[in-house]
Amino acid sequence: MPIYMEISPLHRLVTIIARGAVSGDEVRGTAQKLADARVRRFAKIVEVASASFTFEPADIVGLAQTLRADADGRGPIAFVVRDMNQPFPRMFATQTAHEGPVDLFKSLHEARAWVAKIQNAPKAHPAAAGAVAKVAQAAAEGWADPDRQGTVIRGTRTREFTTRELVH
């Protein structure tokens, strides 16, 4: 099954949805897209509740290394899972917790609330606080991010699209 990934620069958020059996190629492809997009500081919501992963635990180390290629600090990562002991998210969280906030949630609502709490926390840098406030205001007013980019990854194949292609 494919992985769907959407990057929203306005909201500084990456959303990833995985369904069915997910291969190592699909996980590596997703990690490479994230590294290429240089979105390490963005918050990430990774919904894997209905996914199963067919790769080895050593692949998680490689995944984390690919994502570390971007020297920026890491934004929060919220996994939405069916089971709090689901192997892939639990192992990833355990191996990378020292790099930045990461947690597992049973619902998308809980994950979004946790990410929003972290994103809206007062920042030491005043410009960052202003940017967060602007994003929060835009989100509250229902503004869509016209620069959102989406990717569907199936095996080693990818398909890029903008959200404008989805509107008729």
For 135, list phi and psi in degrees, rounded to 5: -65, -45
Rounded to an integer, what distance in angstroms lies between the CA atom of residue 21 and that of residue 27?
A: 11
Rounded to an integer, what distance in angstroms lies between the CA atom of residue 163 and that of residue 168?
A: 10
Rg of the chain on CA atoms, in Å: 16
Residue closest to 7 by CA, chosen among 107, 166, 111, 147? 147
Encode burial over 28-45: b for 16+ CB neighbours within 10 A, e otherwise.
bbbbbbbbebebbebbbb
Geometric angle at alpha carbon 148, from 21 and 41, rounded to 5°: 80
- Which residue intervals of the chain are DSSP H helices? 24-37, 57-68, 87-96, 108-119, 126-140
- The residues spanned by each domain of the chain are 3-166
71 vs 38, 52, 66, 96, 106, CA distance in Å? 9, 30, 11, 15, 31
Sequential pLDDT tens for the chain (168 residues): 578 888 888 888 999 999 999 888 888 888 888 888 888 889 999 999 999 887 776 777 777 777 775 566 789 999 999 988 888 888 888 888 888 899 999 999 999 999 999 988 876 445 455 555 555 555 555 556 666 677 676 666 667 766 554 444
